[in-house]
Structure 1
Amino acid sequence: MALSLRDLPEPPTRPGNGHLQDWALAPLPLIETGAERARAAGGDLFRLRLGLPAVVGFSPAWNRALLTDLGTFRSAGSFSGVVPYLSGGVILTDAPGHAGRRQLMNPGFGRAHLLALQARLCAARPGVPAGEFDALAWADHAVLALLNAAYFSSEFDPELLHAFLAPLRRPFPVPALPRPRLFWRVDREVRRLAHARLTRGGDDLLSVLAPLPGGLEETRVSLAAAHDTTTHALAYAIWHLAGHPQWHAPEHHPAALKETLRLHPPGWMGSRRLGRELIWNGVRLPRGALALYSPYLSGRDPGLWAQPQTFDPGRWAHKPPAWAYLPFGGGERLCLGMHLAQLLILDTLAALPPLRRVGGDPAPHPGLTLGPRGPLVVTGAPTP
């Protein structure tokens, strides 16, 4: 006879609110404790009390099932739906419509098209400040300029773009609050620029997306999904390279970036809703339950990685454990902007001088994305 969700291990609860307070204020210790208890019980799932049935899994088998069985694990009703910035477009499109919609969008975000934009992106990248600077603040500024160049050939009003994306960096519930006036202004600017592409042509991402059904919504949603994720990955990569200068060379940057994303995946937690009842390792999970997977937990699992807390790009000389490294998701729903983020970050790292750490707070700070608490102060290091 199958066990029920109530039989799963769980972190300690608080009277009256279950796990809601810890989920809001300290989610990383919460899920780390849950994973420890699940491993001790010989399983790969633990329960969270968030006001609705919820489970978190962290094994490669769970990750693979959640990211490939699109009929059972549905995007509609997931966390993305409560954030207006992400509530729409391909992010919330389920099977069978998802594959066709992605196929329409993939060419614009593919390597060939992005490489054609590379010179424009390099020209848009701001210079590195002389002396000490906060890598987190600089990365935020740089990624804003780079995304403006990639999506809009740097023609979008920079102040409006900053105002649009700024709430995403705030703690919950700020990103989930409706902002109809701001969204109206952004949509008006996107329509203005899209009209120019449709009448005169172009080669930026808006030129690719504007002719598609729902393409302007996809532009706004994918832009929102790209900014903080890329900013935080770049800031952490700069911090790690400043502390491990032996890896600060273009030939080492791909491995250093992979290691950064293993330790600090911006998308630290992903969510789905169960479209049907599922029995997982003898546990019956009800239809409608919130099903979560955590690239943060999987990337730091001591059963999958040697010295998982250590920054060691050398580990990438070998293939990672299958379905254990998921900073961009996986399967059919692999992150649309993966190649764009990698291009922006690797080109930026290659342009940086030798660096050394000055000080700051790199502690992971989870919000809508996982980023450093900051600041991350670095300075140019003297060349040998």
Structure 2
Amino acid sequence: MMIGTDVPAAAGAVPLLGHTLRLLRDPLGYLEAQRAADPLVRLRLGRRDCYLVNRTDLAVRALTTQQDDFDKGGPFMEAARLLVGNGIITCDADDHRGQLPLLQPAFHRRGVEGHAEVMRRCVQEVVGSWTDGSAIAVGPAMHRLSSLVIARTLVSAPTGHRAAAVMAETLPVLLRGLFRRMVLPPPWPHRLPTPANRRFAGATARLDGAIAEVVAQYRGSGEGRDDLLSRLVGATSGDGRRLTDREIRDQVMSLLSAGIETTATLLTWTCHVLARNDEVAANLRAEVDQVASGCPPAFADLAGLRYAKAVLTEALRLYPPTWILSRQAIRETGLGGYAVPDGSVILISPFALHRDPGLFPDPGAFRPERWLSHDGTARPRQSLLAFGGGRRRCLGELFGLTEATLALAAVVSRWDLRPVRREPPRTVPRMLLVPEPQPLLVRERR
């Protein structure tokens, strides 16, 4: 077995900055190009070496079967902690064991089913506000929808509504700033009084203030609410103590950031794809019409919406919101024929691995049928890395997909989507992978 320092270096490094410039200029193209290299290649971010995984089976091993060898860490997690602190998304394995029981019940099937009617009403509130022939800003519309859902289910006090709105408004600035901090880890460039740094500091302060109001209202009201935050305020940790304001703040920030941005981004990408793919849109509409009989779909209809789920899964394959993941080795281990030293940073790009033609023939094509058949062309769902994997797989997967399926079905049951511009939206890599802002034309179905 080779030693870790023999992992081949990726091309394109420059003195002092390493591969940082390449990742700042074209991170998606650069990471995808590495797939043709060794199973493991070495990237340098400033003075820091990271190992990029270029094979899906190795990525799955790092995320699942080697949970005792790798933990949350690395530049992606370090940047995310600047926003969400030590919440359920970013905490290490020891803290995760204590946090998971507090949050998990809200995301079990029974808990999600209990929220589905609220989700359906939120969908109708947003989708029903569109007017025939108008050009809608689909990204902001989907952010509004996801903000309403979170504010009426998991954090339902009035201040929760305001915090969800502030989160939706400030996230674009925050995600740009966090991406810069991920690719350029040294802290000093981010302390300079540049316009971008000032915008980031202002957005962070504004959001922290809104979250502090939420926690204070829940602490002081004494009013029992049937939502997740009320349970967190009244919960005790494994050692019998009440959660601190900081601990609750980190969980609220995690819920808002993941619950709003990832679902909104998925729905925005999917709407853009449907507007440019008449066949997929027609197949989806036929299924929704058959299952829901012209009514807004409900939770009971989800089992019959197989094609809708396949459409969302294919959107997640091509445009995974979390386009890069990082882990840190907690002891020396082997990966791809190399010895990975203790403390090493592992990078995994779902965006690049989801475009492997060996796993997904014609990988650039949008083909929901990949997820409906088992004729030898469909790939195992384990190849889909959009939700991570193993014990740290995304806790809100069922919640988010339920919301997205109800929303998607409601959109196509009432509206035809058409692009306003000829060219499709560019992919914009920030901390999450978002589409370039573009409006869509909506026509009411006759």
Q: How far 1:272 moved relative to its partner?
A: 1.0
Q: Which residue of 1 aligns with 2:19?
A: 19
Q: Contact 1:2 / 1:282 at 8 angstroms: preserved in 2?
A: yes
What residue identity is the alignment partner of 2:53? Answer: G
Alignment check: 8 A CA contact 1:365 1:372 kept:
yes
* Counterparts of 1:264 and 1:207, CA distance in 2: 34
In structure 2, which of residues 402, 406, 427 is the aligned counterpart of residue 343 of structure 1? Answer: 402
In structure 2, the residue matched to 1:368 is 431
Structure 2 counterpart of 1:355: 416
Q: Deviation of residue 341 (structure 1)?
A: 0.9
In the other structure, the counterpart of 1:108 is: 106
Q: Which residue of 1 aligns with 2:97?
A: 99
Amino acid at match of 1:246: A
Q: 1:76 to 1:29 in 2, by over 3 A?
A: closer
Query: Which 10-residue stretch deviates more, 176-185 or 76-85?
Result: 176-185
CA contact (8 A) 1:239 1:376 kept: no
CA distance in 2, matches of 1:154, 1:194: 8
Query: Match for 2:78 among 78, 81, 91?
Result: 81
User: Are residue 261 (structure 1) and residue 344 (structure 2) matched?
Assistant: no
**Aligned partners of 2:441 and 2:14: how far apart in 1?**
40
Change (3 A) 1:316 1:92: same
Partner residue of 1:211 out of 234, 246, 252: 234
- Measure the CA separation in 1 of the matches of 2:74 and 2:12: 26
Distance 1:301 1:75 in 2: 25
Instruction: Describe the SS at the equivalent of 1:200.
Output: coil
Q: Please list every run of 5 or more consecutive structure 2 residues that lacks an aligned counterpart in the other structure.
A: 182-199, 236-242, 289-304
Point out where structure 1 has 5 or more consecutive residues left out of the alignment: none
Q: 1:145 to 1:298 in 2, by over 3 A?
A: same
The question of whether the paired residues in 1 share the 8 Å contact of 2:328 and 2:343 is answered with yes
Counterpart in the other structure of 1:282: 337
For residues 298 and 236 of structure 1, the distance between their equivalents in structure 2, rounded to whole angstroms, comes to: 19
Deviations 1:35-86 (A, max 9, x none): 12x1xxxx32222121211011142322222212233212145522233223
- Report the Cα offset of residue 270 of structure 1: 0.6
Residues 172 and 288 of structure 1, relative CA distance in 2, 3 Å threshold = farther
1:173 aligns with 2:177: yes
Q: Which amino acid aligns with 1:260?
A: A
- 1:267 and 1:168 map into 2 onto residues whose CA distance is 14
**In the alignment, what sits opposite 1:136?**
139
Q: Residues 1-384 of structure 1: matches in 2 within 5 Å?
A: 2-36=2-36, 38=37, 43-51=38-46, 52-68=48-64, 69-83=66-80, 84-125=82-123, 126-128=125-127, 129-130=130-131, 131=133, 132-153=135-156, 155-156=158-159, 158-170=161-173, 172-173=176-177, 177=200, 181-195=205-219, 199-212=222-235, 213=243, 214-244=247-277, 245-249=281-285, 250=288, 251=305, 252-318=307-373, 320-321=379-380, 323-352=382-411, 353-360=414-421, 361-380=424-443, 382-383=445-446
Distance 1:273 1:79, change over 3 A: same
Three-state SS of the structure 2 residue aligned to 1:172 is helix
CA deviation vs aligned residue, 1:284-309 (integer Å, no higher than 9, x gap): 32322210112112211111111111
> Residues 73 and 345 of structure 2 are in contact (CA less than 8 Å); yes or no, is this contact kept in structure 1?
no
Letter in 2 for 1:209: L
Q: What letter matches 2:21 in structure 1? A: Q
Change beyond 3 A, Cα 1:215–1:87 = closer
**By how many angstroms is 1:376 displaced?**
4.2
Task: Quote the Cα distance in structure 1 between the aligned partners of 2:317 and 2:88.
Answer: 25
| CA distance in structure 2 between the aligned counterparts of 1:46 and 1:232, rounded to whole angstroms | 30
Give per-residue Cα distances to partners, 1:100-150, cap 9 Å, x unaligned: 421332111222112212222322333332122122221122222222112
Residue 193 of structure 1, CA deviation = 4.0
Q: Partner letter of residue 217 of structure 1? A: D
What is the CA–CA distance in structure 2 between the aligned matches of 1:193 and 1:182, rounded to whole Å? 17
Normalised to the residue count of structure 1, the TM-score between the two structures is: 0.89
So what's the TM-score if we normalise by structure 2? 0.77
1:230–1:345 Cα contact (<8 Å) kept: yes
Query: CA shift at 1:162, angstroms?
Result: 2.9
Rounded to whole Å, the distance in 1 between the matches of 2:249 and 2:15 is 45
Q: Give the C-alpha shift of residue 273 in structure 1.
A: 1.3
Give 1:161 deviation, angstroms. Answer: 3.3
- The answer to whether the 8 Å contact 1:328/1:338 transfers is yes
Greater helix content: 2
Q: Give 3-state SS (helix, strand or coil) of 1:238's partner.
A: helix
DSSP-derived class of the 2:17 partner: coil
Is the 1:27–1:366 contact (alpha carbons within 8 Å) kept by the matching residues of 2? yes
The one-letter amino acid paired with 1:50 is L
Please tell me the root mean square deviation across aligned C-alpha atoms, in Å: 2.5
Q: Which moved more, 1:320-329 or 1:292-301?
A: 320-329
The secondary structure found in structure 2 opposite 1:362 is coil
